Structure 1
């Protein structure tokens, strides 16, 4: 009950402040994260949760699944094929380089062994543009930049998973890395993400079936739930299945995509905010103090150095202008994939699990605070409709009034 009431009150506050948030650096993501922090055991003790609670992992996975499904809806296979060059650079070069730079920082700054450093790099490599929504959803931002960030984030969550599991097995001293099992999991996720939506959309075209206008938005919801259930039943990768299913619906069911768009965005937003509240409740002042000076130095390097350096190398001679490249380098927020993988590491029982989880949580907190508070600012950077600063326009209007009144 305290958790539900806390979520309801914070949601009401977010709704009342949403107009202001769209115009300023105020962020609803930060509101829920901070709310969870204040209401958690470390401060007020209203919400009592531990990382071992099943509800924490389940909510994080559901939120990530919903976000990836709705993100996949924003692109279709034809558009993906035509504009794959930039996302391909980000995934093929940027992500491995980000992993490597993060691992080097973890080894030399925190003193982790190389397997643990590489595991940490793999957990923090995926990006999540849901915390930069003002940038990804702003049509004044160049389409190729929005497409790049959206596709990259949707695909890199699933790509990072094999690396996380392999490095986790190495840290645990396991001789069986399970590469074949991981490959099968990814393949199953891909097949489910294509087959289930395609079959569902084909069924609706039969003469005996048709969705009413009232139920049309629920069509894609039902498809998503079936994809989720089947993936869990056969142990397919949930995140690959979610993003692929969204793309499949966008490709073969444009009507269903349009009907679901607003409804789906709101549903994903609710799950995202609930997951942020729960994650914030896991963080306490004592928890943050345990990260230590070296840990915080690593967090800063992981956020402001690793991805910028990696993407700068990846986009050499890619044709992006300075503003586009700078925005892509900066917006690499750590989100639900890192939360989920961090919980997997914590539950693994390896010797450095607690240290790694502290560093992961610290990086996610700093990333959410920084990226969610700067998305509006950077989005305005691309608005060339009127480059005159607001204060200058105000002074100019005052001077005009004085001139009209004959004042000097």
Structure 2
């Protein structure tokens, strides 16, 4: 009992610690998680003669079902992120990678495993099927880490989630064929494939039926709010286990179909559970990576030799590129995106979990090479994660498919004040987007060529039509303070509670008309200017000014140059990071930063006198 509790605690610390370190350093999270688990398990055993913990000893027979259910929940969560509207631009590539990419990848992977890694044909064919998977557990963190254009990112995401269960079924088909061949020498593929396809179809129908049941029950109040997350998670696990009773690994098909179906049924009740399911996914990915890498046995790595090194090279530079380039031949996907897709194919949890399962079964059938699958699968995971995790940014930049790397600002409410702010930020190369439901209010933004979105920001359709990944901060500056608070509260979970702001003064709690701070965004400006305050000052001629600091021109110098009544709005770091001045935060400006202030009009003579007093030339516009 104490050992299991200690292992759970260590897995949590190592997994979440690796995620935090990745956030701080910008390194690939999957690389750090894999390294943390390896160092705690076989690495510590090799160096000190004993590992920090042994997951198999601690959990015994429970380890395999724990990992399996974790993978099922991850695939379901990944399915919830897939929207059919993405297929408008990426559909051609996705369909080709499913219909053509799976058999081509299976064929090339099996050929490489047999001819290069020297595996027996049955083991090579089965492992080639497993190699079809890429996996959301590794692809999604890479996409979050790097800013890639929408279409290639969507293709990678869809391929990772859809091909995961398909790759598992390919391995099941291969195993069942070889098992039947051992029992009946005259067994044919027709005795194996049709039942597998029927089982996959039934599993998909079970997943779809479960999604329809959730979509019917949640909006009608059949499930109370506090039970929606537990009911959803219990349903996913039940669907997975039930489908696996029909056929091994069919549960992965069921939960993937369930997630995709729910994501496209416009169930408004699911919006409230998005933060929780994202947290579950992060915890599961971290925990499973640590458990699997820590449970690796040093003895399983000993069979790896130069044949395996050559196989890994072929997998990276021959198998994946040939699969992608042949699958996407004569497609609408541009060549630079095809080359990017041909390089990025990291493998993760599903590959290791399925390989471990079939390694035991192949050994029971008498195939000696079955034992090598565990070490080989870890070698594939390490090689692909290291190769793709550290080069994704470089390759995306080289192929010119890099998206906006500078953090952007989402402005809700089109007004003279917000448009002037957007213009200043745009001159500083900061991505901005003005959102408003009024086409008339957006007219000045359209005239000035500013990016805009016409629609209701709180509408669920906006979530699918407007990619929020590029925006680090949000400010709500409409005329309605309550609406601004609603917008901030709605997007606080996605953008961050500390990164949503609104106009409106934070008043004393004794004022019964005041909105509770927990419902509002942070107040812009240290003084907490309200909408009317801003309007009045604009009428009086107040404008935005940007002041760039340097080693010679300090923050104190900038304060001396600007009018005394100026109010600081934000600090823009050289990296593009924005830090707003508010009632709760006061960032420290430093050399290289640009300060944006809201200031009254300057008197020309006073400005000249001030400038003559300064030794350095002020950089204020």
Q: Which residue of structure 2 aligns with residue 38 of structure 1?
A: 39
**How far has the Cα of 1:135 moved from its partner?**
4.6
Question: Hey, what's the Cα distance between the residues in 2 that align with 1:210 and 1:286?
Answer: 50
**How far has the Cα of 1:186 moved from its partner?**
0.7
Question: Hey, what's the Cα distance between the residues in 2 that align with 1:32 and 1:82?
Answer: 33
Match among 10, 16, 31 for residue 6 of structure 1: 10
- Consecutive unaligned residues of structure 2, counting only runs of 5 or more, are 407-428, 430-573, 576-591, 593-615
Question: Hey, what's the Cα distance between the residues in 2 that align with 1:48 and 1:135?
Answer: 28
SS where residue 252 of structure 1 aligns?
coil
Match among 402, 411, 416 for residue 382 of structure 1: 402
Distance 1:145 1:38, change over 3 A: same
Distance 1:383 1:202, change over 3 A: closer
Task: Say yes or no: does 1:63 pair with 2:70.
Answer: yes
SS where residue 40 of structure 1 aligns?
helix
Question: Hey, what's the Cα distance between the residues in 1 that align with 2:151 and 2:116?
Answer: 36
Distance 1:257 1:324, change over 3 A: farther
Which structure's relative contact order is higher, taking Cα pairs within 8 Å and 6+ residues apart?
1
Match among 218, 222, 229 for residue 209 of structure 1: 222
Question: Hey, what's the Cα distance between the residues in 2 that align with 1:179 and 1:302?
Answer: 26
Contact 1:134 1:376 (8 Å CA) reproduced = no
Match among 228, 238, 261 for residue 240 of structure 2: 228
Query: Where do 1:309-328 residues align within 5 Å?
Result: 309-328=322-341
Match among 88, 100, 103 for residue 95 of structure 2: 88
Task: Say yes or no: does 1:277 pair with 2:283.
Answer: no
Distance 1:223 1:251, change over 3 A: farther
Q: Which residue of structure 2 aligns with residue 28 of structure 1?
A: 29
The more displaced of 291-300 and 30-39 is: 30-39
Distance 1:372 1:215, change over 3 A: farther
The more displaced of 103-112 and 192-201 is: 103-112
Question: Hey, what's the Cα distance between the residues in 2 that align with 1:63 and 1:204?
Answer: 24
Question: Hey, what's the Cα distance between the residues in 2 that align with 1:37 and 1:140?
Answer: 29
Distance 1:217 1:150, change over 3 A: same
Contact 1:124 1:338 (8 Å CA) reproduced = yes
Question: Hey, what's the Cα distance between the residues in 1 that align with 2:292 and 2:218?
Answer: 39
Question: Hey, what's the Cα distance between the residues in 1 that align with 2:223 and 2:122?
Answer: 54
Distance 1:385 1:340, change over 3 A: closer
Q: What's the TM-score, normalizing by structure 1?
A: 0.83
Question: Hey, what's the Cα distance between the residues in 1 that align with 2:168 and 2:297?
Answer: 28
Match among 254, 263, 276 for residue 267 of structure 2: 254
Distance 1:312 1:120, change over 3 A: same
**How far has the Cα of 1:245 moved from its partner?**
0.6
**How far has the Cα of 1:285 moved from its partner?**
4.4
**How far has the Cα of 1:15 moved from its partner?**
5.0
Contact 1:303 1:363 (8 Å CA) reproduced = no
Distance 1:8 1:340, change over 3 A: closer
Contact 2:69 2:237 (8 Å CA) reproduced = no
Q: Which residue of structure 2 aligns with residue 188 of structure 1?
A: 202
Q: Which residue of structure 2 aligns with residue 400 of structure 1?
A: none
Q: Which residue of structure 1 aligns with residue 157 of structure 2?
A: 150
Distance 1:384 1:199, change over 3 A: closer
Match among 377, 381, 385 for residue 364 of structure 1: 381
Aligned residues: 390
SS where residue 272 of structure 1 aligns?
helix
Q: What's the TM-score, normalizing by structure 2?
A: 0.57
Contact 2:15 2:287 (8 Å CA) reproduced = no
**How far has the Cα of 1:280 moved from its partner?**
0.9
**How far has the Cα of 1:69 moved from its partner?**
0.6
Contact 1:18 1:28 (8 Å CA) reproduced = yes
SS where residue 112 of structure 1 aligns?
coil
Distance 1:78 1:35, change over 3 A: closer
**How far has the Cα of 1:337 moved from its partner?**
2.4
Give the number of the structure whose alpha-carbon radius of gyration is greater: 2
Question: Hey, what's the Cα distance between the residues in 1 that align with 2:292 and 2:326?
Answer: 33
SS where residue 84 of structure 1 aligns?
helix
Deviations along 1:266-286, one digit per CA (max 9) or x if unpaired, are 212211111111211233444
- Consecutive unaligned residues of structure 1, counting only runs of 5 or more, are 392-396, 398-402
The more displaced of 173-182 and 275-284 is: 173-182
The more displaced of 346-355 and 49-58 is: 49-58
Q: Which residue of structure 1 aligns with residue 313 of structure 2?
A: 300
**How far has the Cα of 1:64 moved from its partner?**
1.9
Question: Hey, what's the Cα distance between the residues in 2 that align with 1:291 and 1:163?
Answer: 25
Q: Which residue of structure 1 aligns with residue 23 of structure 2?
A: 19
Question: Hey, what's the Cα distance between the residues in 1 that align with 2:224 and 2:112?
Answer: 54
